[in-house]
Amino acid sequence: MKFNWTVFLTITLLLMMMGAGVFSAMWGFSLGREALKGVTQPEFRPGSNLSNRSENDSNTNHPRFLREEDILEEVEAQIQSHQPEVTPHSA
């Protein structure tokens, strides 16, 4: 039987690619593990304090809503203060 170089080179290339994949996976895992060594999870659960709060405490975290009319008045005032007066040109 004659030695087939095409099959030999194909198998060699596949084995080298698998070896490179295993090596890069192990290297990436070790780098990630080393990078996250000092990182820990928080010591509390955000949802656990919701049932223990009083009604006054829960109201302090709500955002303050503004009226749309007030916002529009402030914006209009800012626009008017930054624009110079436009005077019609007389010919």
pLDDT given at position 49? 59
- pLDDT tens digits along 44-79: 776 665 555 555 555 567 778 889 999 999 999 999
Rounded to whole angstroms, the Cα distance separating 20 from 14 reads: 10
Q: Tell me how far CA of residue 15 lies from CA of 9, 12, 53, in angstroms.
A: 10, 5, 61
Q: Given 3-state DSSP classes, what are the helix, strand and coil percentages for the chain, each rounded to the nearest 5?
A: 60, 0, 40
- pTM of the full structure: 0.42
pLDDT given at position 32? 94
10 Å Cβ neighbour count for 59?
9
Rounded to whole angstroms, the Cα distance separating 35 from 50 reads: 34
